[in-house]
Amino acid sequence: PPRKILKRANRALMELFPCWMMVPSAVAQHLPRKTDFDLVIIDEASQMTPENSISALMRAKNAFIAGDTNQLPPTNFFKGLSIDEDEDEDVTTTEESILELANVQFHPKHRLLWHYRSRHEDLIAFSNHYVYDSELVIFPSPTPTTKGLGISLVEVNGTLQRGINMVEAQVMLEAIVQFMRDNPDRSLGVAVMNQSQMEQLEALVLREAETNRTVSNYLDKWATARQGLEKFFVKNLENVQGDERDVIFIGTVYGRDAQGKFYQRFGPINGSAGKRRLNVLFSRAKEQIVTFSSIPLGDFNPSPTNEGATLLRRWLEFSATKRLGEVAHNHDRAGHTDSPFEDHVLEAVRSLGYEAVPQVGVSSYFIDIGVKHASYPLGYICGIECDGATYHSSKSARDRDRLREEVLIRLGWDLYRIWSTDWFRDPLGCRDVLRAYLAERLDGLLKDMDETDQSEKIQPEVRVTSPKISEPVSDSGVEDVILESKGVIPTSHEEVDTVRIGSKLLVRFLNGPRAGALHKLWFQEKTNDPNFSVGEHRSIGTDSPLGAALEDAQVDDIVTFKVKDKEIRVEIIELENT
């Protein structure tokens, strides 16, 4: 038995494998009592009960408890088989978690406030306002109006019968199939409000995959892409914590019955932890959330004491209007500068013929000045950072000068820094340098737009918005391209995959005019050789700046190349060598 082996070879195994990952029951079942660890980490601690944590903690010299008290608590929901999904009562039993005990007993406590996941501020603005009291640091998007980002609501005229809304399930199935056809390079997850609807919708998707090649190809691809960490799922409200996908579809399920009556019975959402359950649901997406709802808002008037149902109504209103109810979406700072220095820079930018927007952002973090131009319709051409309140409020130089910039660049921002000392010493000289930078930046963006338009006529570009990609033809001998991430620690007999001649890649541009765009590339000796192109992959070679930068790189590497002295960063998402 494993326990006897571990007992006899405990020291040798600890030296060979100093890091162990186990579920709580496995710790108690397999590890001898005298096994000690220098550090025990309990993740998603809000869902773990103290009794399940004891077996790990009793073997720890130090413990690190990580979790969010605003997310799912331990629960016995769905343990029973006789739960009526339509019952208007709290059928769950919420228990105390190890995280709540740790918050009382462990010191020091640290709060992590920076939010990195979302590529659009609306994806977290709702939870930040209604759950986290606007304390999270949210980074603004450079292209907030881009199609395929943010939130939206699809109203469905479905009816609820015995826990299943068949009309809503069919509408969601059609949307899922359309998404898989148009967005093969974006991951998708589907979350619904109860177990019955989950099983029904999952069965519909699997049945569709049997006859629809687009669906089956999508499921097969994402079963392995990104190491299988973002494969397609259909889950219920209770099981979605810990997941994240590019796009999340939410099905609210509830609606009028066959007689046209609407009963405000929302199962676990009506319970004491309903708000926490919804907070998890509304914060799973990196790029987009689409909510499908049959709930008639005109008849949906929950009691103010029912936090879960009240939050659900507010979410539906927010998805429809993009406004946070009775409170303004933006922070009071939005639209106002922080200092006279920023006023001077703002006027200088406007005098050069550009639109200058002060304090771009939604919560806690704002870019001092966002710059737009009438001839560039895709969003901000750059952000200008001054050493004002936001800069000096950071606790460390690491936060000020590196981390914030890294996050913003990943979101697609191009940043220009102006120091107040330089400006007041030589305002005219700084203005001339700024004029040259903005002119060069705008010229580069417009030329790149033209080049992109021309290249799209020859080879379609895969973007993060809703792309149209032709389906591969299997009977021509060209197999479906399944890109598998190789970002794992190699063993002694396994070589790390690197970009070389013949490699097929999926890359994401992190800044510049293509910021956020995904491109499928086929690495060759010569760029744009018509003899070296297949399917959706565009050839790229070592004779181009990007090709030279990509050579010998690995999955998850970020490479840089220059276009007219402007440094462009590109991340390798997936890599396949045949």
* pLDDT band, very low/low/confident/very high, at 391 (cuts 50, 70, 90): low
Phi, psi angles (nearest 5°) of residue 270? -75, -10
User: Are 569 and 508 within 8 A, CB to CB?
Assistant: no
| Domains, the chain, ordered by start | 2-105 (no CATH), 147-321 (3.40.50.300), 340-450 (3.40.960.10), 472-576 (3.10.50.30)
Looking at residue 76, its pLDDT comes to 57
Instruction: Identify the H or E element spanning 13.
Output: helix 10-16
| Res. 306: pLDDT tops 60 | yes
Task: Rank 82-96, 128-142, 177-191, 447-461 by mean pLDDT and report only the highest.
Answer: 177-191
Looking at residue 451, its pLDDT comes to 61
Task: Rank 322-326, 382-386, 500-504 by mean pLDDT and report only the highest.
Answer: 382-386
Buried b (16+ CB within 10 A) or exposed e, 122-161: bbbbbbbbbbbebebbbbbbbbeebebbbbebbbbebbbe
User: pLDDT (tens digit, 9 = 90+) per residue, 415-436?
Assistant: 999 998 999 999 999 999 999 9
User: pLDDT (tens digit, 9 = 90+) per residue, 167-193?
Assistant: 999 999 999 999 999 999 999 999 999
User: Are 196 and 164 within 8 A, CB to CB?
Assistant: yes
| Res. 133: pLDDT tops 50 | yes
Place of tokens 């579809």: 249
User: pLDDT (tens digit, 9 = 90+) per residue, 559-572?
Assistant: 888 776 677 888 88
Looking at residue 84, its pLDDT comes to 44
User: pLDDT (tens digit, 9 = 90+) per residue, 257-277?
Assistant: 999 999 888 888 888 889 999
pTM of the full structure:
0.69
Looking at residue 475, its pLDDT comes to 32
User: pLDDT (tens digit, 9 = 90+) per residue, 396-418?
Assistant: 555 555 778 888 888 888 899 99
User: pLDDT (tens digit, 9 = 90+) per residue, 481-490?
Assistant: 222 333 333 3
* pLDDT band, very low/low/confident/very high, at 500 (cuts 50, 70, 90): confident
| Res. 466: pLDDT tops 60 | no
> For 31-40, 288-297, 332-341, which range has the lowest pLDDT when averaged over its residues?
332-341
Q: Would you tell me how many other CB atoms lie within 10 Å of the CB of residue 195?
A: 19
Residues 6+ apart with CB under 8 A from 334: 358, 359, 360, 361, 362, 366
Looking at residue 536, its pLDDT comes to 66
Q: Which of the pair, 543 or 289, is modelled with greater confidence?
A: 289
User: Are 293 and 312 within 8 A, CB to CB?
Assistant: no
Buried b (16+ CB within 10 A) or exposed e, 290-304: bbbbbbeeeebebee
